Amino acid sequence: MAQVERSGPATIIGFVYRRDDHAARPIVELIIDGLPIALGRANIYRAELERDGIGDGRYGFSFVLAPDVMAGGGAAQIVLANLGRPLGPPISLGLWALAEGPPAGEAGAAVWTGGLRLSGWLAPSRDPVRLRARAWIDGTLIAEARPDRWRQRSHGGETPAPAFSLHLPERFATGLTQQVTVTDGIGTPLRGSPLTLVAFSDPLETLAAGAFGPDAGVTARRARLFDTLLPRTHPLDDLRGWTQAYPAPGAPARRLTVVIVGDAPVDTAATRDSLRGQLDPSCAVVVLPSGDRIGFAPDDLLAVIGGAAANCDSLLLIPAGTRLEPGAAGRLAAVLASDRHARLVYGDLAAGPPDRPSLLAFPSFDYERWLEQGYGALLFALPLAVAADATRAGADSLYRLANAQCDDLARAREAIVHLPGLAGTLPDLDLAAATRWLERASTLHLQARGMPAEVRPGRGAILPAVRVTRLQQPDATVSVIIPTRDHPESLRRCIASIRPALDRARADLVIVDNGSSQTETPALLAAIRAAGDRLLTEPGPFNHARLINRAVAAAWGEFVCLLHDDVEAQDDTWLAELLGRLREPTTAAAGAVLLGPSGVVAHGGTVLGPRAETGPALTDWLGDEAGYADLLRVASEPSALSTACLLVRRSAYDAVGGLDERYFPNDLGAVDLCLKLAARGDRVVLTPHANLLHRSARDAEQTSRNGDAGRRAREAAALRARWSAVLSADPAYNPLLALSDPTYAALACPPRGSEPRRRTIDPPAAMPLGL
């Protein structure tokens, strides 16, 4: 009797026993594409076998492979050693994707994502007891978690499945194979359980460095790749435990004045207390009167600059009640002292209950988010002369003092520096008052730049939020491009939904048909042509990049909007919102947060680095939730977007050669395009303020996982060859966060870096011959 299954991205498990001899422990062999790879004895405990009266239950086996081997295509077979008898059907080695939603009657599913972390989903239930994920080893409960995210289900607008992330205790990082049974709250096993995992107490890169020292070289790089493919993580909600494990270095600050904004005695005392041991005698601490810890009188700050701070080099400004982390003041001051181009440096923050704060891990300088959230303005340092200039110009709040450094937007990317690392924990802010100050600061900044725009209050959950609407150019010309192939119903709904916005913008619609053959399609295409829209025919194998490039070449607009044929607009303002973002001359492309039919985010940007390629962002949140650090409430600048909805400046598209038909024909072309734009200094903006539905969510990630995994692997290899530097250090993603699946869901162990960083991307590398 035997069973074999793939239980995770890098694991194949199963069991085998002889009905007539329960004492036998057969030896099994792993075969990949006909080649013998590994042997193993079937002696791992399987609780369900013992429950069924099958001996002592120790008839299981597991094989753990490198994920790049699993993703390379082909098939695996488990056979009885020497006999060659298969124990089950061949197993595909394509990229692993957790099932999208539970079939009827299933309790959920679980998968090992590397290290001590498991993730998965539970079947929707009104029973709070059932809505728990529990992990068991040898019949002992070792960890449990409640769902805190969501997973899109596979059928239309069904209720999304509650998703969970579960970390096992550190004592199980032994380097030995572990069998973990995962159940819901009432003990029903989840699909994929039991899981086989192996975790180590230290990253492999750390061990390589310790063993080989400065000569680690290639060994260290191999170790880093292993740690990327199977990352060690720490629970996002245990920030204090993580900071104790990875304390940030720091020396006392020199020639720095700390300005505490707000004069409530309890708050100022808390901040002063956190500064003990952080400042040398050359420093000063002053309190600036403020009723809301954000706004102040410019004359009061000028008095500090000309008085208590006169002999210092820089200022550190913080709201009263903020508790600085040990060494934070010195680390921030050191950046300004060593970098003559830096005009402002900010760190990462924590917010929430003192006993369970949440990390707000920020990106490198993100101008759009700076305007709509002011994320870097609540704990920052700047040179004394810079502060004096901004204050003399009328800066009257932390937000205006910070965004004044963007008034000259051309040099803001060099002037504003992010220092990764927890710098302090915020007090409870008056969000209404903070939002008013942010609205005023962003309005004044845009006026100073001569950018016509309207700024309105938003709906921040943790931090304040505003919405910036730039007035679009009245003479802007737009072409909307939709590639299609035998999706007549999707295409009909798409066109009908976007037509009002196209009429408002007097946009040109171009449909690119790739050899549709369904009987309903010709009539629809004829109707499209009869309506005055343009129809291009591009037969041949499906090459998404080729279809888009041909359409762009034929388009009339100075802006081109790329759409998938299964995207549906929910109102007529979405195109105006995207065009407003491109009113900024530094913005080359803008995309929209897209929701799936159940309300879960289908596209929220792309993170570089997971699995040494890319991972989706924010797709475990509902669209009406705030998202990680309120990212679903404000516009931002991820490193890459999707062509499911992407408005691009035509001149910028042509300047970088458009989509790459050779190396990125279908899956990762949008990532490559966005990185080419960013490498020349352009910005790529994601807005949550355009209301669009992605009905089938057939984006690159989804299509590749459900289709040609070998093709995806080839494009991933090309992405690593061209963009290896940015894949290892995404400027839009914080190195304190794990490169996990999903992203924004765990802390990195250890952090991937703590060096000051700017928003820059190196030019693409030349592609090697023969790739």
Indicate the pTM of the whole model. 0.84
Question: Tens digit of pLDDT for each residue in 118-127?
Answer: 999 999 888 8
Q: Which helix (H) or strand (E) holds 443?
A: helix 431-449
The Cα–Cα gap between 19 and 49 comes to 12
Answer whether residue 284 shows pLDDT above 90: yes
Task: Give the pLDDT confidence score for residue 67 in this predicted structure.
Answer: 47
Task: Give the pLDDT confidence score for residue 368 in this predicted structure.
Answer: 98
Place of tokens 């759009």: 368
Confidence of residue 251 (pLDDT cuts 50, 70, 90): confident
Question: Tens digit of pLDDT for each residue in 489-518?
Answer: 999 999 999 999 999 999 999 999 998 988
Q: Is the dihedral of CA 130, 131, 132, 133 positive or negative?
A: positive
- Integer Rg of the chain from CA: 28
Which range, of 32-46, 114-128, 336-350, 464-478, averages the lowest pLDDT?
32-46
Task: Give the pLDDT confidence score for residue 612 in this predicted structure.
Answer: 87
Task: Give the pLDDT confidence score for residue 221 in this predicted structure.
Answer: 65
Structure tokens at 210: 């310790």
Confidence of residue 94 (pLDDT cuts 50, 70, 90): low
Answer whether residue 697 shows pLDDT above 60: no
Answer whether residue 96 shows pLDDT above 60: no
Mean pLDDT of 658-664: 96
The total number of residues written for the chain in this structure: 771
- The string of DSSP letters for 104-153 reads TT--EEEEEEETTEEEEEE---S-TTTS-EEEEETTEEEEEE---EEE--
Confidence of residue 95 (pLDDT cuts 50, 70, 90): low
Cβ atoms of 74 and 93 closer than 8 Å: yes
Percent of the chain with pLDDT over 90: 71
Question: Tens digit of pLDDT for each residue in 183-214?
Answer: 998 888 999 989 999 888 877 766 666 666 66
DSSP classification of residue 765: P
Mean pLDDT of 621-630: 95
Place of tokens 């762009």: 552
Single-letter amino acid, residue 156: G
The Cα–Cα gap between 591 and 635 comes to 10
The strand pair at 587-595 and 683-694 is best described as: parallel
The Cα–Cα gap between 358 and 235 comes to 11
User: Mean pLDDT score of the chain, rounded to an integer?
Assistant: 90
Q: Is the dihedral of CA 228, 232, 238, 242 positive or negative?
A: negative
Confidence of residue 355 (pLDDT cuts 50, 70, 90): confident
Cβ atoms of 19 and 93 closer than 8 Å: no
**Alpha-carbon distance values, 461 to 27, 629, 744, 745 (Å):** 56, 8, 17, 18
Question: Tens digit of pLDDT for each residue in 723-753?
Answer: 999 999 999 999 999 998 889 999 999 999 9
Answer whether residue 310 shows pLDDT above 50: yes
Phi, psi at 552, each rounded to 5°: -60, -40
**N-term to C-term CA, the chain:** 44
Which range, of 124-138, 385-399, 534-548, 742-756, averages the lowest pLDDT?
124-138
Residue 32 CB contacts under 8 Å (≥ 6 apart), including other chains: 69, 74, 75, 76, 77, 93
Which range, of 51-55, 92-96, 126-130, 524-528, averages the lowest pLDDT?
92-96
Mean pLDDT of 572-578: 96
Cβ atoms of 108 and 121 closer than 8 Å: yes
Answer whether residue 703 shows pLDDT above 50: no
HSE, side-chain direction, 13 A CA sphere, residue 771: 18
